[in-house]
Amino acid sequence: MDSDTAESPTMDMPRSTADLVPFKRIMAANRGEIAVRINRAATELNLDTVSIYAYEDRNSAHRWDSDESYLLPASGTPVGAYLNISSIIDIAKENNVDAIHPGYGFLSESAEFAQACADADITFVGPSVQNLETFGDKTKARELAIKAGVSVTPGTTEPLTTTEAAVAFVEEHGLPIIIKAAKGGGGKGMRVVNKQEDLIPLFEAASSEALASFGDGGCFVERYVRNAKHVEVQVIGDGKGNVVHLWERDCSVQRRHQKIVEIAPACHHPMSVRENVLADALKITKACNYKNAGTVEFLIDDQGRHYFMEVNPRVQVEHTVTEQVTGIDIVQSTFLIAGGASLEEIGLEQEKIIPRGVAMQCRITTEDPARDFAPDTGKLHACRHSVGPGLRVDGYSYPGMVVQPYFDSLLVKYTANHKDWDGCIRRMRRALRDNHIRGVKTNIPFLLNVMDHPDFIKGSFDL
């Protein structure tokens, strides 16, 4: 063949994952470390990023991690600014945002917010409105679990609003019980009742806290599982009938119903128990054609029996440990699914999702263990985080930053991963000792005590 007429060889270039995202400009409708996480994931998908901030957050680093940032109008309180749906939608429309990621907390589980996005022709990067309505109400979620054949503890089928109804439940089922807010989560509106004389005051306290936190004082009551372990399953669905699990996490190390240390996978449980939990997580999410990322949470008793708790229809604070052991970017996956991609298109096939090694996350908060974990505030005179192999840092703190009293006390998250449990503990212990945070008190001394506790080292811990 004449060299002058020969055709040049061509090579079919693989399609970039970023090409699956149809939108170009996204907003992180949140603050702090999760807003930073969202912006970084979006940037790697070649998306323009927009942040929003309350006036009190004008010096927050999440502004600097985006291409543009816009001030939210005042809305009663600093937190209230991030809960004002109409203000957020207005800013998005005025600045040509075509997708909004809610992160976790604030409006992340709000069906009203998801619907407002849809009405404004903006993609909500999260579950469907129907999913949010189902799992935003724990009684509806419980009904779905029962219908799907998922194991649940004995409990009320409707939210209780009176102490008389709570007393009637105890008379039938006995103690101990746990009271939970019908709406919301995060440990708010939750009380454990062991004695009959504590029932009415604790129910009233839980209902009052639920009303203040979620605008709904309804609570449901169920039997309390003693010495339980808290295991949750990370799932991703595409809204097309397909759901996969990314294995499970153990979140049993808690303080006042707040997760402190999270581990992936739940390697201290027998594989038979883990397989049962994984199977039930897929049952309930497939039953509702679940879309996007979510977490199905269970309690496991000392006999290895598991009971459904709830579904958190959003990205979790502790998603980092799952990302480290599976190699799957959960936040980027939420964008891809929201853009209409199927699980197959983004390479999420169940048989190919295999956890490798162990990962552990510690949440470093500005709380003082010596003062019963009272929140601390002030300027960070020094802020140098640990680095090194197998260590991930997710945060937004910097030297000179002023920690304020208006928001959650989470400062930074350390995620250590290693090929085995012992190595993971040693790596996290080194990370906690190696950092240099000065100017505010933190819970690091408490976390170090956890790392050194003989039961924790043995992998023996429960709620």
**How far apart (Å, rounded) are the C-alpha atoms in residues 379 and 342?**
46
What is the dihedral angle through the alpha carbons of 178, 181, 183, 185, rounded to the nearest 10 degrees?
A: -70
CB atoms within 10 A of CB 421: 17
Residue 212 in 3-state DSSP? helix
Residue 339 structure tokens = 């853009």
Q: Find out whether 417 and 400 touch, Cβ atoms under 8 Å.
A: no
**How far apart (Å, rounded) are the C-alpha atoms in residues 2 and 82?**
68
Residue 239 in 3-state DSSP? coil
- The values of phi and psi at residue 391, to 5°, are -130, 125
What is the dihedral angle through the alpha carbons of 139, 144, 146, 147, rounded to the nearest 10 degrees?
A: 140
Annotated active-site positions, please? 314
Q: Find out whether 228 and 285 touch, Cβ atoms under 8 Å.
A: no
As a 3-state breakdown, the chain gives helix, strand, coil percent values, each rounded to 5, of 35, 25, 40
Per the listing, tokens 């291409």 go with 67
CB atoms within 10 A of CB 204: 16
Residue 157 structure tokens = 């089928």
Residue whose C-alpha is closest to residue 263's, from 306, 320, 302: 320
CA dihedral over 113, 37, 459, 294, signed as positive or negative: positive
What is the dihedral angle through the alpha carbons of 253, 258, 262, 266, rounded to the nearest 10 degrees?
A: 60
Neighbour order of strands in the sheet with 191-193: 191-193, 177-181, 219-223
